[in-house]
Amino acid sequence: MVLFFITLYLTSQMDYSVSQAGQMLGIYGAGSLGGSYFGGWLSDRIGAKNVQILSLVISAFGFILLGHIHSTIGLAVTLFLLAMVNEAFRPANASALAEFCPPQLRARGFALNRLAVNLGIAIGPAVGGLLATINYTLLFWADGLTCLFAAILLWYLLPPTKMPIWQPTENEPPALSPWHDRSFLLLLILLLYLGLVFFQIFNTWPIYLRDIYLLPEDRIGVLMAFNALLIVLVEMPLVHRMERLEPIRIIALGSFLLVGGFALMPFGNTFVFALFTVLIWTVGEMLVFPLVIGFIANRAEDRNRGRYMGMYTFNFSIAFVFGPLLGTMIYDTFGPDILWYGIGGIGILVVFGFRLIHRKMG
């Protein structure tokens, strides 16, 4: 809840300028980089369940504390540390999903997880907005208490780990480091670009819809709701049909649709056309993200899966930090149409990059 409203909180309640609020979000993004990698590393050592519980418990107190800090330095430090702890949850959660799902069901398992996330996104901001209109302090307490409640649920309901936490032995060769897996590193580069494109939905995409398509905020909200609704209704059966096929080829197709949906933006200016572009890039999103994380989980070994997942989430943290920065810079410097055309042009190279990975692994 808090992260959706932190900019409004800082500008309306703390008298920050928009740029100052953006800097605070940048500090959170910087902390998330360390948390993403550290969470994966720690999962391989103390277990994914333990990392998730620790992340939720500490984040609970961090969110509550955040609502009671009023100095700039205090806010910056708290946001950075909160991001480190909060974002450590993601790779641990991915490792736990991979552990409890057999390899042939992992893509479906991650799709189900994305469905839950999108339901949370549909509910959380709505409840958070209601609380914020009453008192912003309630927003921070609600986010903290729900984190604590989630930690209790995990503690009681998640079964014990099915495999021992890996410990090195004298005769066992070390697990392959993700940094030495060239195909995986190339995959991360391609996914970084897709992340940079996807995170335009938080900055340049709504601005373009407002300024060029002349859509009001409520219509833009309908487009976002359409994206979430498609994922909730379609992603699970779609992944179920696709998981029997070669994953990298499907991911390549999904990346083509993802960048293509944004590249089509300059070719229309109506709400119906905008809805059509959202349909295109949402289908691409559904073909890329659940399948790629299932592919990575199967590529890793049990003893280094946390590190693979940590690098995957770290990669998207980088995209979250730099996507808005690069997108707005190109938008302001060269014009919005150049941004969308550039996304499409480079996206074609990304598709060929996935085909290259497919050939190397074939």
How does pLDDT run across 106-155, given as a tens digit for each residue? Answer: 878 888 888 888 788 777 777 777 888 888 899 899 999 999 999 999 99
Average of pLDDT values for 53-63?
A: 96
DSSP assignments along 151-216, one per residue = HHHHHHHSPPPSSPPP---SSSPPPPPGGG-HHHHHHHHHHHHHHHHHGGGGTHHHHHHHHTS---
pLDDT band at 265 (very low <50, low <70, confident <90, very high): very high
Structure tokens at 181: 């897996």
Give the angle 108-124-11 at the CA atoms, nearest 5°.
Answer: 130
Distance between CA 54 and CA 62 in Å, rounded? 12
CATH topology for 1-101+124-158 is: Growth Hormone; Chain: A; (1.20.1250)
Question: Domain locations in the chain?
Answer: 1-101+124-158, 180-362
Residue with tokens 């900019």: 7
The stretches of the chain forming alpha helices (DSSP H) are 2-12, 18-46, 48-66, 72-87, 89-100, 106-134, 136-157, 182-198, 204-211, 217-242, 247-263, 271-299, 305-334, 336-361
Q: Is the pLDDT at 164 greater than 50, yes or no?
A: no
pTM for this prediction:
0.72
- 146 vs 1, 2, 129, CA distance in Å? 10, 12, 16
Residue with tokens 């083509």: 256
Does residue 129 contact residue 5 with C-beta atoms inside 8 Å? Answer: yes
Start-to-end Cα distance in the chain: 44
Distance between CA 184 and CA 79 in Å, rounded? 31
The per-residue pLDDT for range 75-104, each reduced to its tens digit, is 999 999 999 999 899 888 888 888 888 887
Out of 3.30.1360.30, 3.40.50.11890, 1.10.1200.10, 1.20.1250.20, the CATH code matching 180-362 is: 1.20.1250.20
- What percentage of residues in the chain have a pLDDT greater than 90? 35
Distance between CA 290 and CA 251 in Å, rounded? 9
Mean pLDDT across the chain:
85
Residue with tokens 């149409």: 337
Structure tokens at 74: 């205090």
Structure tokens at 73: 């330095």
Structure tokens at 311: 């690098």
Domains 1-101+124-158 and 180-362 share a fold: yes
